Structure 1
Amino acid sequence: MLDDKRVRADTPGIGPGPGTGLVFLDSAGSSLSPRIVTDTVVDHLRREAEVGGYRAANERLDDLAAVKTAIGTLINAAPASIALSDSATRSWADFFYSVPLSPGDRVLISGADYASNAIAALQRAEATGATVQQIPSDGTGQIDLEALAAMMDERVKLVSVLHVPTNGGLVNPAAEATRIAHSVGALVLLDACQSAGQLPIDVVELDVDALSVTGRKWLRGPRGTGFLYLRPELAASMVPERLDLHSAQWVAPDKYTLAADASRFEFWECDVAARLGLGAAVRYLLDLGPDDVYTAIAARAEYLRKSLQRIARVTVRDLGIQHNGIVSFTVDGVESIDIRDRLAAQDITVSVSHASSTLLDMTARGLASVVRASPHCFVGFEELDRFVAAVAAL
Structure 2
Amino acid sequence: MNAEAVEYLRAATPGCARIIHFNHAGASLPSQATLDAIIEQLQREALGGPMEAADTQLQHRARSAAATLLNAPPEDIAFASSGSAAWSQAFNALGPWQPGERILVGRHEWAGNLACMAEAVKSGARLQVIPCDADGAVDPQALARMIDRNVRLIALTWLPANGGLINPAERIGQVARQHGVPYFIDAGQALGQLPCDVQALQCDVLKGAGRKFLRGPRGTALMYIRKEFLQRLLPQQRDVLSAPWDGRRFTLRDDARRFETSEVSLALLAGLANALEEHNRIGAGAIRQRIQRLSDHLRQRLPSIPGLTLRNLGPADQQSGLIAFTLEGWDCVELKQALAARRINIGANGVAYTPLDMQARGLESLARVAVSYLNTEEEIEALLDNLGELAASPQISISTHKPWRG
Alignment partner of 1:284 is 2:281: no
Q: How many residues align?
A: 385
Aligned-partner Cα distance in 1 for 2:121–2:51 = 41
Distance (Å, rounded) in 1 between the aligned partners of 2:238 and 2:105: 27
Which of 322, 337, 350 is the aligned partner of 1:341?
A: 337
Supply the distance in 2 between the matched residues of 1:260 and 1:382 (Cα, whole angstroms).
50
- 1:283-302 maps to which residues of 2 (within 5 A)? 283-302=277-296
Query: What SS does the aligned partner of 1:250 have?
Result: coil
Alignment counterpart, residue 118 of structure 1, candidates 90, 114, 121 = 114
> 1: CA distance between counterparts of 2:177 and 2:231?
20
For 1:86, the aligned partner's letter is S
5 Å-filtered alignment, 1:33-182, equals 33-57=30-54, 60-100=55-95, 101-126=97-122, 128-182=123-177
**Cα distance per residue 1:135-192 (max 9 Å; x no partner):** 1222211102222112111110111111000110010001111221233221000000
Matched residue type, 2:363: L
- Between the aligned residues of both structures, percent identity stands at 35
User: Are the counterparts in 1 of residues 94 and 232 from structure 2 also a CA contact under 8 Å?
Assistant: no
Distance 1:292 1:139 in 2: 30
Unpaired runs of at least 5, structure 2: 391-406
SS of the residue 1:391 aligns to: helix
Residue deviations 1:192-226, cap 9 Å, x none?
A: 00100000100011111110110000000000000
After the TM superposition, which parts of structure 1 deviate over 6 Å for at least 4 consecutive aligned residues? none
- Which residue among 298, 309, 314 is the counterpart of 1:315? 309
Q: Which amino acid aligns with 1:93?
A: S
Cα deviation code 1:88-118 (max 9, x no counterpart): 1111111111113322211111101011011
Counterpart check, 1:354 vs 2:350? yes
State which drifts further: 378-387 or 230-239: 230-239
Secondary structure of 2:251's aligned partner:
strand
1:246 aligns with 2:248: no
* 2:401 alignment counterpart: none
Counterpart position of 1:31? 28
Q: The residue matched to 1:258 in structure 2 has which SS? A: coil
Contact 1:249 1:256 in 2 (8 A): yes
Question: Quick check: 1:5 aligned with 2:4?
Answer: no
| CA displacement at 1:383 relative to structure 2 | 0.8
If the length of structure 2 is used for normalisation, what is the TM-score?
Answer: 0.92
Tell me how far apart the structure 1 counterparts of residues 320 and 225 of structure 2 sit (CA, whole Å): 25
The 2-side partners of 1:184 and 1:306 are apart by: 40
1:187 matched to 2:182? The reply is yes
Structure 1: segments with no counterpart, 5+ residues: 16-20
Query: Aligned-pair RMSD on alpha carbons?
Result: 1.3
Equivalent residues of 1:154, 1:185 under 8 A apart: no
The Cα shift of 1:237 comes to 5.2
Question: Match of 1:18?
Answer: none
**Mapping of residues 198-277 of structure 1, within 5 Å:** 198-236=193-231, 238-252=233-247, 255-277=249-271
Task: Measure the CA separation in 1 of the matches of 2:151 and 2:178.
Answer: 11
